[in-house]
Amino acid sequence: MARVQGECRICGSEGILDPYHIIPTAYAKKIGRKDLIDNAGNVVHICGDCHDMTTASRGNQHLLREEARKARRQQMAGSKFSDEWLEQAQDVGKTENQWSASESLMRQPKDEEE
């Protein structure tokens, strides 16, 4: 599925939207339902910020953080990792911090309209 221009189904922002699979592609493959991967009924288009807050993205970020920790430990022990890979791992940490900040904003009570 390709990115599209439009309105995010979650927050309503306008812009370039990511396709988000309701039933994840990995699970569709696991259960032998590859038809779900390209099924338009299994995809909603959401903005990058909302996509970053999905469970799947959060899980991937967790895995990347764990890999980054391992890489830092191995680098300290003398192993070599590319600078590009380490920068990507650091970007995941920044994304995590942004998500935590937006999550705390969502928990704040909204002002009542007068």
Q: Is there a single domain that holds both residue 15 and residue 37?
A: yes
Q: Is there a single domain that holds both residue 30 and residue 60?
A: no
Q: Is the distance from CB of 101 to CB of 79 less than 8 angstroms?
A: no
- On the question of pLDDT at 12 being above 80, the answer is yes
Distance between CA atoms of residues 76 and 82, nearest Å: 14
pLDDT given at position 65: 74
Q: Is the distance from CB of 71 to CB of 85 less than 8 angstroms?
A: yes
- On the question of pLDDT at 113 being above 50, the answer is no
Q: Is there a single domain that holds both residue 35 and residue 71?
A: no
**How many CB atoms sit inside 10 A of residue 31's CB?**
10
pLDDT tens digit sequence for 50-74: 888 886 665 666 666 777 777 777 7
Alpha carbon separation from 45 to 14, 21, 104 (Å, rounded): 11, 9, 24
Q: Is there a single domain that holds both residue 33 and residue 63?
A: no
**Mean pLDDT for the stretch of residues 86-114:** 54
| Residue appearing with tokens 């192993």 | 79
Provide the domain limits for residue 19: 4-48
What is this structure's pTM? 0.49
Residue 72 lies in a domain: yes
C-alpha torsion 60→94→54→111, nearest 10: 160
